[in-house]
Amino acid sequence: ALHFPQKLWKLVESHQFRSIWWSADGKCVAINEGLFKEEVLGSGGPQRVFGMNSMKSFLRQMNLYGFTKHRQDFHRSASLPDFLAEEEAASAHSQILYYYNPSFQRDHPHLLASCKRR
């Protein structure tokens, strides 16, 4: 049986789900919380990835394995119309959670071996 980090890795790498992906630099996992609840935690049967169905339990596992929540910083523009457009884009991203773990990075699956439960 695979441990939580290996399951999470397969999930992020699979492209089967729209709710979870690598950040642009490949150092963080990005999760669309609402969609993730529905798509990953809500599915049963053979589609079931984790033995949990609540976001709270999933995030507890993330914390147990040393993942830390990261804020994505949006660079602000000087002009008011640009600023307002960016604010709208940023609020659309507010449901996106970013988690970082130095042992969990795209293109470095060998690091998973050091991704241990606390």
**What is the pLDDT, as a whole number, of residue 15?**
83
pLDDT higher than threshold 80 for residue 83: no
* DSSP H stretches of helix in the chain: 4-14, 33-36, 55-64, 80-92
Sorted by sequence, the CB contacts under 8 Å of residue 108 that are 6+ apart come out as none
| Cα 54 to Cα 17, 19, 92, distances in angstroms | 17, 15, 22
Delineate the domains of the chain, giving CATH numbers in brackets.
4-111 (1.10.10.10)
When the pLDDT of each residue in the chain is averaged and rounded to a whole number, the result is: 85
**What is the pLDDT, as a whole number, of residue 45?**
63
pLDDT higher than threshold 70 for residue 76: no
User: Residue 100 and residue 56: Cα distance in Å, rounded?
Assistant: 17
